[in-house]
Amino acid sequence: MIEIYWNRAIGIKDGKSEILKFPENEEKLIEIFQNLRNGDFSFLGEFLNEYGPDIELKTSIMDDKFQKILINYGKYLLNSFDKSELKIMESVKFYHSLEKIINDYKNHLQDWYEVFDPYSKFLYQEDKYLKKILENDLNMEDNDKNIISEMIKIYKNLESLKKGIENYIETVMKIKYPNLESIAGPILGAELILLSNGIKNLANSPAGRIQILGAGKAFYISRKKNVPGPKHGIIFKHPFVHSSKERGKRARILAGKIAIAARIDYYRGSENKDFIEKAKKNFSKTIK
């Protein structure tokens, strides 16, 4: 077995150990960190053949030099991303944060409104009830009406901001990753890029992995309890999947198309209209 620390590797065999020190050069260490991140241990060479294949990564006490190397490694990772890629990943994180804030805000607004009109929520469907709240036409004291008006104003601004972020993601996705945007949709496509930690990782992922992206907790539980794993992850949001009773089958089909779309976007960088049309026709045939 090999235990890997930031500055050395220790090979353990038959109770005996041997130490292989990594180069002191910062650029070489950054390259080693990148290899470790990608699961590539070939840089260990003969040491790996002698003591592998079991490998365990170990933490170590941080010193000034290690901290400096990690900062440079972080810069290296950031520079390896396309700026549009980072924009998409940050935008979709902000989009989901806004969703949570808006839902929480809406619940508080409804609770506040029920103080003045406690039975109205039983007379309307949820969307019509929210519309009634936003109209703010109840007879109440000016002080109460002013605070609810302010809350409604903020709620509408948050909804407007969310729509703006959604439009921004759609615009960037169409320009940068048109095939993925056409197959998965702008928000789901951005989420897949985020979960994969970049378009490169998504493009190099097999369809089976894409199918269960976002289902990490369910996958872990299935392994722990030795039960069948999840049939889909975040791609469940796609109407092609969640509108069907055969979700597992459709998730496999969609994951395959997403994998191809991501590869076209990453390796070719241009829209393939023929592929998109055939994929959408395939979705239509499956629905029938």
More confident: 149 or 222: 149
Q: What is the pLDDT of residue 126?
A: 74
Average pLDDT, the chain: 81
Beta carbons of 92 and 194 less than 8 angstroms apart: yes
**Lowest-confidence region among 37-41, 169-173, 271-275:** 37-41
Q: What is the pLDDT of residue 244?
A: 73
**Lowest-confidence region among 121-130, 222-231, 245-254:** 222-231
Tell me the HSE value of 18 on the side-chain side, using a 13 A CA sphere.
12
pLDDT higher than 90, residue 191: yes
For the segment 45-57, the average pLDDT, to the nearest whole number, is 74
pLDDT higher than 70, residue 258: yes
Confidence of residue 41 (pLDDT cuts 50, 70, 90): confident
pLDDT higher than 60, residue 252: yes
Confidence of residue 88 (pLDDT cuts 50, 70, 90): very high
More confident: 194 or 229: 194
More confident: 26 or 175: 175
The whole-angstrom separation of Cα 212 and Cα 233 is 4
**Lowest-confidence region among 69-83, 166-180, 195-209, 211-225:** 69-83
The whole-angstrom separation of Cα 251 and Cα 279 is 14
Q: Tell me: the pLDDT tens digits for 131-156?
A: 877 877 777 777 877 888 888 889 89
Domains identified in the chain and CATH numbers: 2-80 (no CATH), 84-170 (1.10.287.4070), 177-287 (1.10.246.90)
The whole-angstrom separation of Cα 113 and Cα 149 is 11
Confidence of residue 65 (pLDDT cuts 50, 70, 90): low
Confidence of residue 6 (pLDDT cuts 50, 70, 90): low
The pTM of the full predicted model, rounded to 2 decimals, is 0.68
Contacts of 141 (CB under 8 A, 6+ apart): none
pLDDT higher than 70, residue 66: no
Instruction: Please state at what angle helix 247-263 crosses helix 186-196, rounded to 10 degrees.
Output: 80
Share of the chain above pLDDT 70, in %: 83
